[in-house]
Structure 1
């Protein structure tokens, strides 16, 4: 089997490796033949060397595919079923899982991390706790359009939903979204789904902001904190009720704070790079509530999948390029250069 891995030492190096085919090892396992895998913005932090990985580390945590084999205790899926996995697996039984905090499962893990069955940018993967992890898709086969509407369910759509739901976005909420990547576009989708009528997305790249406009937001291209605040005041007639931070850099956090009104909510879901901090004195003095964290994607999948399948929610615009798994290095390169918004890899 082929999978994508960190190549030779140094940043911006991704290569392919031949590894043993995954097999069912425990009765609760399933093996999934991957049809499409996403390259995530958080993968780019590792690609750029900001979060160094050892040479040979497996890459990727977003995938949809077809069940190839299932252990004797698996009940929810069977060979031939089309499935989506959240970016992490979990046992579904521990106290964290019972609370819906699947990413804190002591027996679970994020695909590709050390000690997990592997990365998702591969031809196949072994899924522990298949019943608790995999969600069956309402299709008998995965077509090209299915890839673009269902693959975002693995990570970016539930992450955007996490940001909006933690902030209690609803009818009448003025929402500013910081960032012009796939999570930001999905946060816009989620905010509109929860009832927000006015959503403004701030970013640097006009071509990427166009995707947020395609999913129902107004946008502004800004290059400084001062420009961001000016854009927000011009749009809302004041600062926003809610600021959704979807980047993970210090500049983005500072902008998110500057754009939210006193008494408002800052919700952060951008994967934080080293050294990012939220100054408590600023939030204390202004009575800003701070919420956020790693999305428990599995908790949100049933409701989001239902809306995607019904055509109520369409995250497909966030995937704007498809490449073969053999071109994984090119996929990382074009995303790193901001030539495309999000690539999916086809084994």
Structure 2
């Protein structure tokens, strides 16, 4: 079968690899029908940590082709969402809705598990990981359904961690796909003021359509001051940090008001948060981490199905497997917001 391999920075290839196959009785085998490139995939693309020859991708929808002997809930022929982390569905963390802390957790496309930018995948702990859908594999809602594997669930997790509340004020740091989904999440949770912080006109226009009320394009101290100007000098009650850089977390700590909360979901590329004094003396909560997207599908799926939210609009380019290398280039050069893959 064919899969996306990244041997080194800026080197993305579509290679033949051994066919995905059942290895454990709790496994399922899916034929990938939709996948995508994530902003976090650009970290290894630009020289960040990378396992030599790792198979890329961690967001997918597929059709179940085979199941192991112990799989009870997932059936052959079902269309399923594959969240970006596997989970057994039975441990105490899964029971608490924190599947990304499952005692058997691992992350797809991390060098250990199969990557989603491929023709097929082996899914460990299929019953606890996969979410079956009652739709055809070519349903018109596929782009939005695919976001439930990661970016929509991650944006929602940022909003939950930041304690977004009805009538509240929110700032979203980052205008990538997760940030834009964070705007959707803040809007559906009832926030009254939603400030999007970013610099890309097309993305900011989409953020406004999703519910953003204000745009701040300044960065650093200028950006902090601009947000404070928009909030009577106090800052916002909730900050969704959707980037993962040191500047992004510094900005978040500068714009959160006393008693507020920061929900960070950008994979951190900094050693420590420098705002310890701010957190303590202003009673600021900092929470978040890898989103348990599996836990949020029950809540978000009905709103996707009836059109109340349309997160699939973050996809602005579609490619086949052969187009994946150029898809990485396009996202890295900001020519594309998020690339959808149809293997």
TM-score scaled to structure 1, two decimals?
0.94
The structural deviation recorded for 1:141 is 2.7
Task: Find 1:216's aligned residue among 188, 211, 221.
Answer: 211
Q: Specify the alignment match of 1:34 in structure 2.
A: 32
The structural deviation recorded for 1:71 is 2.4
Structure 1 residues 85 and 211: CA distance shift in structure 2, 3 A: same
Task: Give me the CA root mean square deviation.
Answer: 1.6
The structural deviation recorded for 1:99 is 2.2
Task: Find 1:245's aligned residue among 241, 248, 266.
Answer: 241
Whether 2:87 is the aligned partner of 1:107: answer: no
Equivalent position SS for 2:54: coil
CA distance in 2, matches of 1:298, 1:175: 25
CA distance in 1, matches of 2:112, 2:203: 35
CA distance in 2, matches of 1:282, 1:181: 27
Q: 8 Å contact 1:33–1:125 — kept in the other structure?
A: yes
Q: 8 Å contact 2:74–2:127 — kept in the other structure?
A: yes
Q: Specify the alignment match of 1:201 in structure 2.
A: 196
Q: Specify the alignment match of 1:277 in structure 2.
A: 273
Equivalent position SS for 2:166: coil
Q: Specify the alignment match of 1:18 in structure 2.
A: 16
The correspondence of residues 1-347 of structure 1 with structure 2, limited to 5 A, is 1-7=1-7, 9=8, 11-50=9-48, 52-116=49-113, 118-143=114-139, 145-238=140-233, 239-275=235-271, 277-347=273-343
The structural deviation recorded for 1:36 is 1.2
TM-score scaled to structure 2, two decimals?
0.95
CA distance in 1, matches of 2:325, 2:189: 37
CA distance in 2, matches of 1:140, 1:220: 38
Stretches of structure 2 that go unaligned for 5 or more consecutive residues are none
Stretches of structure 1 that go unaligned for 5 or more consecutive residues are none
Task: Count residues with an aligned counterpart.
Answer: 342
Structure 1 residues 277 and 230: CA distance shift in structure 2, 3 A: closer
